[in-house]
Amino acid sequence: MSTLKLTLIQSHLYWEDKGANLTLLEQKILGLEAPTEIVILPEMFNTGFSMQPEVHAETMDGPSVQWMRRIAMEQKIVLTGSLMIQEEGHYYNRLIWMLPNGEYGHYDKRHLFAFGGEDQHYRSGNKRLIASVKGWKINLQICYDLRFPVWSRQAANNEYDVLIYVANWPEKRSHAWKTLLVARAIENQAFVVGVNRVGLDGNHIAHSGNSMIVGPLGEVLYHCADQESVFQITLEREELDHSRAQFPFWKDADFFTIQSI
């Protein structure tokens, strides 16, 4: 319970080519230099940020989810990232939290990126997913959710310890990405992890990565831009507990509820 081992995979993605992306990411996972407990992939890791779910979406029994299950079970890891899923006649940008025993949880992106037309193709989710690993509570969110602090706001009883964002965040707005990751860590007194892609997508939009890990007081523990990267880190529970005890800002937080829409 005292530590949590994470692996962040910042990768380029082949546009709408599932086979190439799954092969690439599997090679990176199999090549890890040290044991890990959680491997984090970018948003829509098997296609890139595509607005063609009618062509590329899969069911929860589809090959990409089966790939996640196989990798998680073989490598004895938690594997997470988002992909487009079809369910009951609707499409979702869905984060899968795949466990080493083959079971999973999921989170459907709450805030759809209307500027890019995402709201025209996908249905919004209305429930958060807070997972648990070794006593660590992990809040799982997707890309554009980062701009909406109420959705990630920590409850007064510190309901989570790590906040993870998987993303396809464009280079031209990288300053906002970096700034908001730090802000989310400071205001929630939690570790914040942002995993983004690099390279051009099929719409010629550039992505610079800028994947980051931020400590509970806003200190940047890791940052990588403009290149592919596989980074492993061990988070220390003692650091989190100490910061919350030394600076118990959470005791002064506002109480509120979020209504589903």
Residue 43 is a catalytic residue? yes
Alpha helices in 122-221 (DSSP H): 149-152, 174-188
Q: Using CA atoms, how far apart are residues 215 and 40, in angstroms rounded to an integer? A: 17
Residue 33 is a catalytic residue? no
Alpha helices in the chain (DSSP H): 18-30, 53-56, 63-75, 149-152, 174-188, 237-246
Q: Using CA atoms, how far apart are residues 30 and 169, in angstroms rounded to an integer? A: 26
Residue 109 is a catalytic residue? yes
Catalytic one of 109, 118, 171, 224: 109
Q: Using CA atoms, how far apart are residues 71 and 22, in angstroms rounded to an integer? A: 10
Beta bridge partners of 4: 235
Catalytic one of 18, 37, 43, 58: 43
Q: What are the φ and ψ backbone dihedral angles of 173, each rounded to 5 degrees?
A: -115, 30
Cβ distance 177 to 202 under 8 Å? no
Cβ distance 143 to 48 under 8 Å? no
Catalytic one of 18, 58, 143, 224: 143
Strands 198-200 and 206-214: antiparallel
User: Annotated active-site positions, please?
Assistant: 43, 109, 143
